[in-house]
Amino acid sequence: MNDIKFAVEARGLIKRYKNADHPALDSFTLKVSQGEFFGLLGPNGAGKTTALSILCGLLPPDDGTVYILGMAPEQQATKIKQILSVVPQEIALYNKLTARENLTFFGKMYGLRGDRLRARIKRCLEIAGLTDSADQPVSTCSGGIRRRLNLVAALLNEPAVLFLDEPTVGIDAQSRRLIHRQLQTINRQGTTILYTTHYLEEAGELCGRIGIIDNGRLIEEGRPDDLLSTSNSRTLDELFLHLTGTQLRDA
């Protein structure tokens, strides 16, 4: 039995896509403790999304093992799905449904019903500041509202582990600030968060620990301040470029 002090544990993950020159993940190993806010950073094509997809069970690894709160996805997938939530990078919502209808649908998929479901939806709409636009079709909402709704749809089951894949892409400072605050609150309430982002400043502000992934491997991890001091870097941007180089990755 695996040690349950880790909320997320990946051991030696290997993933190779067809016709790719290099593996997307190459012996990727990661440990995130319970209640931690962990940021996973990396340049484009470094393997962030592949790692996240394997960790949340969307993609099977070619090799290696994953544990979520000590449970292996291949053995206890249903249990893991009850306590884990994912916020995809894309707006994963039904455009023709209203915010409330989207939340009702996803809530019912978690098995929520009746007063419990209504209470959770009310809470999620409050978190996202969407009480007034709850009955508006998603297609007519602004980008910021959609992003916030995309986030709170993953909070319906009050997850123990929350994965977020660049949840603040393309939104204004106000919406980003609201999302940051809500994530910090959720984390303080005990939810483990694994967060991928390109905004290094954001990661430094939010995450207790960060990991930098490149070429499918975790090349550095630690508290942001510790990493800066040990590498003699002034900013996380400088540290990031120092570790991953200045060459364009998607050229």
Partner 1 sequence: MSRIITIAGKELRLLGRDRAGLLVLFLMPAILVVIITLVQTNVMQRSGLVKTRALFLDLDGQAVGSALYKLLNTENLHLVGGNKKEKTAFDLEKAVRNGKYQVGIVVPKGSTKILRRNIAHLFAKPAQKNEKTPLEKVRLKVFFDPGIMPGLRAGITARLQMAVQTLSFEAKFSALEEVLKKASAELNVPAEGSPLPAAGLRELLVRPVFSLSDNAATVPSKSGGYNPVQQNVIAWALFGIFFTAIPIAGTMIKERVSAISDRLATLPVTPLQLFAGKIAAYVAVCLCQFLLIALLGACLFPHLGLPAFTVTENPAGILLIVLLSSLAACCYGIFLGTACKSFEQASTIGATTVVATAAIGGVMVPVYAMPDIMQRISIISPMNWGLNAGQSLLMRGSSLAAISPDLYRLALFCLLMIVLSRLQQNR
Asked if residue 243 binds partner 1 (CB under 8 A), the reply is: no
Q: Please, what is the minimum distance in Å from the beta carbon of residue 224 to partner 1?
A: 28
- The total number of residues shown for the chain amounts to 251
Using the rule CB under 8 A, is 129 a contact of partner 1? no
Q: Does 199 bind partner 1 (CB under 8 A)?
A: no
Q: How far apart are CA 65 and CA 59, in angstroms?
A: 12
249 touches partner 1 by CB under 8 A: no
Contact between 88 and partner 1 (CB under 8 A)? yes
Sign of CA dihedral 32, 47, 218, 235: negative
Residue 111 binds to partner 1 (criterion: CB under 8 A):
yes
Contact predicate 38/224, CB 8 Å: no
List, in sequence order, every residue forming a beta bridge with 37; answer none if it has no partner.
193
Site for partner 1 in 218-237 (CB under 8 A): none
Q: Taking CB under 8 A as the rule, does residue 19 contact partner 1?
A: no
Scanning 38-46, 93-101, 122-130, 212-220 for contacts with partner 1 by CB under 8 A, the matching segment is: 93-101
* Residue 156 or 186 having the CB closest to partner 1: 156
Best CA proximity match to 127, nearest among 116, 119, 115? 119
Q: Which of 110, 180, 222, 243 binds partner 1 (CB under 8 A)?
A: 110
The Cα 78–Cα 63 span in angstroms is 22
Give the footprint of partner 1 on residues 62-81 (CB under 8 A): 78, 81
Radius of gyration of the chain (CA): 18
Could you say whether residue 113 binds partner 1 (CB under 8 A)? yes
- Per DSSP, the residues of 5-67 read TEEEEEEEEEE--TT-SS-SEEEEEEEEETT-EEEEE--TTSSHHHHHHHHTTSS--SEEEEE
Cross-strand pairs, 212:
41, 220
Minimum Å gap between C-beta 147 and partner 1 is: 13
148 binds partner 1 (CB under 8 A): no
58 interacts with partner 1 by CB under 8 A = yes
- Which residue ranges make up the site for partner 1 (CB under 8 A)? 53, 56-58, 78, 81-82, 84-86, 88-97, 101, 105-106, 108-111, 113, 137, 153-154
